[in-house]
Structures are given as structure tokens and as C-alpha cells.
Structure 1
Amino acid sequence: MPTSSPSPYLTRHTRPGRPARRLVCFPHAGGAASFYRPWAQYTDPSVELLAVQYPGRENRFREPLIPTMDPLVSAVTDELSALPPLPTVFFGHSMGAAVAYETLLRLEHAGASQVTRLCVSGRSPDGSAGPAVRTDDDVVETVRSLGGTHADVLGDPEMRELLLPVIRNDYHLIDGYRRRPDAPALRADVHALTGDRDPRVTPEEAAEWSALTSGSFALTVLEGDHFYLVPGVERVARIAMEPARTLPV
């Protein structure tokens, strides 16, 4: 079980006595902080591993869902700004990549410099060009097509009733999100990761993140679909804390 949280928005998966670095992970649509719990066994003992807990899931089940990007990012930014400064890496998968990017934009705009690297997984800068998800059947079909972590349990009527509002909310949030084309370039380094069979993002599209930073850029393509990081958890967790490699794109 994770240790106690500094705030409802942040779940601690490790608590080093004297942390030297911090890794903050942002879940995908329908995901929760527990998705990153297995990462604790692969991070260095000096790393403080935190996962963002969006409202409406797990220990925040009774809280209202947030259906748009701006208030979610504002709340997460406020909570992260209150932490003691440490050299920090953000890792976000799918929707979480967009949330992490927008959070970092706000932190850098406020003058913060502790986030040295942004890892964006399973998403291009502007997301999928596919149709918006609207009905419950659309949601179930999309989750199943991506191999999502809820794909199997959505066949159970009780679990479907429990999970669908959360997944539907998050799809509404990310369908309505548009990255500002005039946003300033990030100062932090960026490392994009994707699966070689991801139906939502090609390696070429993932490489487009290189245009959004004035720092270094790295691209890693691993074997797998949209959720390549589930079977590849050890490698991905270790990559997240490695020094970035500058690659031509």
C-alpha cells in the first residue's frame, strides 16, 4: 500500500529518508495513482515516487470529477508547488502526458526550475486525430481497442457502472483539450516514449514533441501497443530516471 499522501492530489509510493530526486507520474484516461505503484520496486532508493490522483477514483471516489483541463491542471500545479524543491521528472501516459505538459508550462511560467525533464508516453503533442468518444459503447470499444487496464473488467455490469463515469469524464476532458499553439517552449528536456504498435500515435508523431522544448529531446520506441508500459514496466520506470539522450529528429 502507498504511504500517506502530502495532499489528496498526490499519492506517495516511496518515502526515502533523504530524497535526492522526485518522479511525479500522471495517469491515463480512466487511470488512477495505483497504476504507478509497481514502479516503486524499480526506482532508486533515493527517488521519491509520487503519482497524481485525479478526483473521483480510489481514495477520492466520492469527490466530483473534473471534466476540463484547466481546473485540473491548476489544482495539480498548486499541490506540486507546495512541495519542497527537488530535481524532478514528470512522466505522463496518454491523457497524463497532456496533463503533465500543461502542469509544467504553468510551473515554468511561475519561475519554477525544479522539473528538469518531461517524459511523454503514448501521445503526440496534439493527440489523436480519431473521432471523439461519445456513447458508453464508444467508451468500451475504445478502451478495448487500446488494450486498456479496464478492458476486461468492463464486461462485468457492476464494474462497468462503477468505472464508466470516470472513463467517460476523462475522454470528455481530453477530447475538449487543445494545446495552445503560441505556448512558450519548455525549458525542461523532453523524452517521448511510445509503443511500436500503438494505434493512437506513431513514432513520427511522438517525435513532434521535439518542437516544444528548448532543451534536449529523446525518443524511445518500445515493443507493444498503447499500453506497452504495462509488460515493460521495469524498463520504462528505469528509462524515466535516466539522463536524457539527445537525438536528431
Structure 2
Amino acid sequence: MPRREPRRRGRPEWLYPLRRAAGRPRARLVVFPYAAAGATALRPVLTGLPDEVELLGVALPGRERRFGEPPASGLDGIVDAVAAELAADPSVPTSVFGHCMGAGMALVLAQTHPRLVRGAVVSGRNPPGAPRSTSLDMDDADIIAFLESAGNTAPELLADAFWRDKLLELFRGDAALGEQASQVIGARPLGQDLLVLGGGDDPYVDPSGLSGWAARTSGRCEVLVLPGDHFFVIDPPNIPVITRALGDLVLDAPASTGGDSGGSPRVGRP
């Protein structure tokens, strides 16, 4: 487990180390968690990156080291707090990564603080205008069905009353954040390079529509479709392929200029 960092001046820290770089980091990757999870859940996908890449997780309230706090309800406050911590060391080239709900939050950070973010990884998320995998009008049964069918929630957690209620609370809060993110992302385009990841059998995200992300950025857009369902991103056979693609983006992404480079997608399968 990453070493727990002290809080500064009594305020919660939003960023924590998933893995420290060897020496001065050459690049930084900031990881946003998916709904009802913590960023640590995505660490297996990332540890194969070169040692010179610093990996930072975003600590959302209500989970992991901030388990006792109520879930956050405002996206702006989260994004601004993360940006403030990144701005303390702006010299390290920074990219962002998120899966599903987390991808939306990562893109909002890239859009609203473009000088801090050079590239973005969008995993398991439809482009704006396409149907979303979750919505605010889902009742408890809908949410439980989603968590069961998505396949990444232990059945024993859903069977336990305490953990089931906790997951429902987190999921509802995160669904609200995801809705807010969709509104921001759809309002104007990005300027960063995008790496878009999708599962070939994802029932919630249409892999054939992922090339639509190219229209959302003036930078380059690479789409990579891998075997698997919604949680293809943590399937062990996919991890080496994802790691190579992440390394290419994180270490080579040019600074965002906001110019128009055409946004042409490069679509591939492993």
C-alpha cells in the first residue's frame, strides 16, 4: 500500500502516491477512480510504466483513506482542489487517466486547467452525445444490478447490508459527479492528445462509437479496443498492451496549445 501522507494545515490531501518515481519524475500520471471505488483499484494497470513516471491517485471522499467522509457532491470543488495540488509542482509533465466516471472527471480537469494537463486517457466511457452507462434516476435495484453485471464488485459485499448501503451511497454520489462531468465535457472541445480505451464486449460502452472522441479534441486521438467487458481495463491479458499505450502518451504527449491539428483518430486492436 502507498505510504499515507500527512494532511497539510488540517485540510485533506486529494492526491496520494500510487507509486513514487525513481528519482526526479520525468512525467506524472494522475488517476481518477471509477464509481464507488478508489484509485488504488487501477494500480495493477499502471505499475508496469517506466520508473521515471510518478503515479498519483485522486482521493475522493467516502473511500480508502477518506472512508469516514461523506461522498462529494460538487465536481468543481474536486477539480479545483486537485489542480491546486498539481500547481504546487507544475514542472512535471502531467497526464490524467480515468475509467468510466473517473474518465469524465479526468477530462474536466484537462478542460478547465489545460496548462496543467498535457494528455488524457479515457477508458470505458462513451463520447458526449452517446448514451451514458448510469443515470441519476436509477433506484437501488438498478444500481445493484449494474454492480453485479459489471462484474467488478465482490458478491459478498453486495450481500452484506453495511457494505451494500455504503456502495449505494458512493454510487449515487459518483453518478451525480458523472452527470456534472458530462455537461462540462460536452460544452467545448479539449486541446490535449487523447488515448481512448474500450472493451470489445462492453455492454455499456459501444466500442464502434469510441472514434467519436476524436471530434472532442484538437489534439491527436488514438482508440484502442481490447477484449473484454466493462472492466476490460483490469483484465490481466490486457494490462501489457494498455501499459505500452499509456507509456507512449505519458512520456511523449506534447504540451496543449489549443490549436487545431485535425483530431483524426487512429483506431487499433491488439
- TM-score, normalized by the shorter chain, greater than 0.5: yes
Residue aligning to 2:41? 35
The 3 A distance-change label for structure 1 pair 226 and 14 is same
SS at match of 1:179: helix
Query: Is 1:208 matched with 2:212?
Result: yes
The 3 A distance-change label for structure 1 pair 119 and 188 is same
Residue range with higher mean Cα deviation, 214-223 or 138-147: 138-147
1:8 pairs, out of 9, 13, 18, with 13
Query: Is 1:167 matched with 2:186?
Result: no
Sequence identity, in percent? 36
What's the CA shift string for 1:186-244, capped at 9, x where partnerless? 22101111000111111232211101111111000000001001113343233212248
Spell out the pairing of 1:123-142 with structure 2 (5 A cutoff).
123-126=125-128, 128-129=131-132, 132=135, 133-142=137-146
User: What TM-score, normalized to structure 1?
Assistant: 0.87
Unaligned runs of 5+ in 1: none
Whichever residue aligns with residue 23 of structure 1, its letter is: L
The question of whether the paired residues in 2 share the 8 Å contact of 1:97 and 1:123 is answered with yes
Residue range with higher mean Cα deviation, 236-245 or 63-72: 236-245
Q: CA deviation at 1:104?
A: 0.7
The question of whether the paired residues in 2 share the 8 Å contact of 1:122 and 1:193 is answered with yes
Rounded Cα–Cα distance in structure 2 between residues aligned with 1:145 and 1:166? 17
SS at match of 2:241: helix
Spell out the pairing of 1:1-249 with structure 2 (5 A cutoff).
1-5=1-5, 8-16=13-21, 17-39=23-45, 41-108=47-114, 112=115, 114-126=116-128, 128-129=131-132, 132=135, 133-150=137-154, 153-175=157-179, 177-180=181-184, 181-183=186-188, 185-231=189-235, 232-243=238-249, 247-248=265-266
The 3 A distance-change label for structure 1 pair 31 and 89 is same
Rounded Cα–Cα distance in structure 2 between residues aligned with 1:130 and 1:2? 31
Rounded Cα–Cα distance in structure 1 between residues aligned with 2:127 and 2:76? 17
What's the CA shift string for 1:37-72, capped at 9, x where partnerless? 324531111110111111111110122311243332
The question of whether the paired residues in 2 share the 8 Å contact of 1:36 and 1:51 is answered with no
The question of whether the paired residues in 1 share the 8 Å contact of 2:211 and 2:265 is answered with no
The 3 A distance-change label for structure 1 pair 68 and 152 is farther
The 3 A distance-change label for structure 1 pair 237 and 174 is same
Whichever residue aligns with residue 45 of structure 1, its letter is: D
The question of whether the paired residues in 2 share the 8 Å contact of 1:198 and 1:226 is answered with yes
Whichever residue aligns with residue 212 of structure 1, its letter is: R
The 3 A distance-change label for structure 1 pair 204 and 152 is farther
